[in-house]
Amino acid sequence: MTSLDSKISHAFAKDGALAQCIDGYDEREVQTEMALAVGKAIEEKQQLVVEAQTGTGKTFAYLISAMLSGAKTIVSTGTKALQDQLYYKDLPLVKKALNTPIKTALLKGRGNYLCIDRFRKLQQQGASHNDQIEHDLIQIKRWSGHTLTGDLGDVPGVKESSMAFSLVTSSSDNCSGKKCEHYDDCYLLRARRLAMDADLIVVNHHLFFADMALKDTGFGELIPASEMVIFDEAHQIPDIACGYFGESLSTKTIKELAVDISYVYYSELKDTKQLLKAAEIVQRCSDQLRLVFAHNGERGDWGQALNRNDVKGAFEQLNANLDFMYQVLKISLGRSENLDNCFERLLEVKSRLDKFKGGDKVGFSFWYEASRNHLQLNISPLSIADKFYQHTKTLDSAWLFTSATLKVDDKFDHFTAQLGIKSPQTLSLDSPFDYQKQSLFCVPRYFTEPANPNYIDQLAQTTQVLIEASNGGVLILVTSFSTLNRLQAKLANQIDQTLLVQGDDSKQALLNAFVDDGDAVLLATSSFWEGVDIRGDALRCVIIDKLPFASPDDPLLKARLDDKKKQGVEGFDAVQVPQAVISLKQGAGRLIRDVNDRGALVLCDTRMITRPYGRIFLQSLPDMKRTRDLKQVIDYLEQL
């Protein structure tokens, strides 16, 4: 046993560092096993892939091993919420237990930090906004007077989705870098300086791959070199990484450029009215391009969209007026440093937009996504395996990829192939939970298939019966907003319990309300399939409408399926099934979060039983007690 192994084993022992710091500490063999494997990976600079099921304690396992090793470590996790939890809750506890003076830092993307320059310009302009934005800007102003970090996630009384944040943050396109008069006071720069000096830095996947793809060049290097890289929630990284190894351009970026040119006109060059005219026309054209797509948002294949006359016309009009803006700015070059900076940004915008004049390139998907306010055009690679493999080769580091959901059909092959990971060390750790005693899983017999017109009615009836049996405490996970809306309409006046629905409030507010009520029903889709940790009696039943296959209309998925077809591979088996298995494992993992939890999981999709691929789904789920008889589930829930 090495010196590091000895330190790790002692930290997790019954009388070790964690036991002395945590009341009711329970030594877990699987947790120590993972920690020792991480320690070995660090010492031997290995690539280690670990599926650690719920309850394993993987966060403490990798944190303690990394900190005891003394290796400079990057920890990357899936979301900003998980990032904050890890930094503000888990890390302080581990540091206290180990009694170590290790320096830690929290680093987020530039869009999370207040930009002093843009905030002051906004105040000087005195532009009018809607009441909600004005309210949020007042809150930001009050908070800005005493913040030390500039992290906008700390602003009280402002939702994470507030449009005000985009007005007071910078992007790599509009940041002036060292030319900015507030450079020395920049919150983003301060956070990066702290990260450079830290022993352990907590980032998120988006920032990690933005850095890796050299997308953000405002201050050069974002994330320092390290001896250990840890990806928690690693199942998310293949899709996130694809977004950073392609290219994108948003109408938001174009409009921000136009706003900044307007500011130059009002503050410095009022004798050049063409500046204002060009800026206003480009803003209008950007809005017109967005408005040719569905009001509620949509996504699709950009090449196909360009075949539409309205899309092609709006796109060509935007291009023509960007050319006009180019000519106008060119005349005034040298008169204003701010204008010169805008001219450089305009050249970059025109260069990127030129790439979308066609919609086809081998190995890439051209697609668009229209949100409520903006249109984003994207070019995404169908695979990042080669690029990621080359990146790991160039860094002299150990790598850990861990999640509760990495294996498909009891193998890591799908995950490792996506990232080009070759011959890694692998470890699969079972949960300490006794699923046979703690849970019951049911695919109800005689259920119609999801494509049947009567499916929603049967789903609503079954859901209502289960809610009555459990007296609430039910989480309903559906695969689309269409199903969510239809199910909400059918349940709203049929159940006595409080019905909470995704979209009515923020995710955290809904989860807090669900737990506080104790007998509520939460109906949700998308983001609620993972990152939801409800322990105790508040959650007694999870209902999933159907197997979570991605929509075949999704442009990136469609491109991947076409690519597999060209290779002579069945895309459904190679792409759609593995993705759906990972998603189902995430959804099922919401039920049992603690050794004292009890509950039922009901999947209302008989394809798991009737189709050949159903075996892979069944094999990937926890070892719950199983039944096809809905009456058994009702009896089970009534006893709970």
Provide the residue ranges of all domains of the chain, joining segments of one domain with +.
3-102+385-429, 248-381, 435-639
Tokens representing residue 368 in the block: 């668009």
pLDDT tier for residue 217 given thresholds of 50, 70 and 90: very low
C-alpha 383/C-alpha 385 separation (Å) is 6
- pLDDT digit string (tens) for 583-593? 999 999 999 99
Residue 215 has pLDDT above 50, yes or no: no
* Cβ 55 vs Cβ 431: under 8 Å: yes
Per-residue pLDDT for 27 more than 90? no
Q: Left if phi > 0, otherwise alpha if psi is -120 to 50, otherwise beta: which for 233?
A: left
pLDDT digits (tens, 9 = 90+) for 461-512: 999 999 999 999 999 999 999 999 999 999 998 999 999 999 888 788 899 9
Predicted pLDDT of residue 128: 65
Give the model's confidence band at 218: pLDDT under 50 very low, under 70 low, under 90 confident, else very high: very low
Section 535-561 average pLDDT: 91
Q: Which of 3, 63, 10 is nearest to 38 (CA)?
A: 63
The residue count for the chain: 640
DSSP-derived letter for residue 16 is S
- Are 417 and 449 within 8 A, CB to CB? no
Written as six digits, the tokens of 495 are 């159940």
pLDDT tens column, 322-354: 999 999 999 999 999 889 999 999 999 999 999
Average pLDDT for 112-139: 86
- Mean pLDDT (the chain, rounded): 91
Interval 44-97: pLDDT, tens: 999 999 999 998 999 999 999 999 999 999 999 988 888 988 999 999 999 999
In this predicted structure, what is the pLDDT of residue 624? 96
pLDDT of residue 552: 77
- Confidence band, pLDDT 50/70/90 cuts, at residue 221: low
- Give the pLDDT confidence score for residue 216 in this predicted structure: 40
Specify whether the backbone of 177 is left (phi greater than 0), alpha (psi in -120 to 50) or beta: left
Most confident of 118-132, 423-437, 543-557: 423-437
Closest by CA position to 574, among listed 360, 301, 389, 383: 383
Whether residue 245 is predicted with pLDDT greater than 60 in this model: the reply is yes
For residue 128, the tally of other CB atoms under 10 A from its CB is: 7
CATH entry, 248-381, from 3.30.420, 2.170.120, 1.20.1440, 1.10.3470: 1.20.1440
3-state secondary structure of 403: strand
Q: Do domains 3-102+385-429 and 435-639 have the same CATH topology?
A: yes
For the domain made up of 435-639, give the CATH fold.
Answer: Rossmann fold (3.40.50)
- pLDDT value of position 127: 67
The dotted CATH code for 3-102+385-429 is: 3.40.50
Question: Would you give the DSSP letter of residue 448?
Answer: P
**Rounded mean pLDDT, 597-608:** 97
Of 239-248, 280-289, 339-348, 436-445, where does mean pLDDT reach its minimum?
239-248
Evaluate if residue 293 carries a pLDDT over 60: yes
Measured CA distances, 403 to 143, 232, 276 (Å): 36, 6, 51
Residue 419, pLDDT above cutoff 70: yes
Q: Which residue has the higher pLDDT, 154 or 460?
A: 460
**Measured distance CA(586)–CA(522) in Å, rounded:** 17
Give backbone dihedrals phi and psi of 181, rounded to 5 degrees, phi first. -70, -15
Instruction: Please give the structure tokens belonging to residue 549.
Output: 């296959």
Q: Which residue has the higher pLDDT, 565 or 140?
A: 140
pLDDT greater than 90 at residue 33: yes
pLDDT for res 600: 98
Distance CA 535, CA 638 (A): 19
What pLDDT is attached to residue 80?
A: 83
368: left (phi over 0), alpha (psi -120 to 50) or beta: beta
**How far is Cα 373 from Cα 378, in angstroms, rounded to an integer?**
16
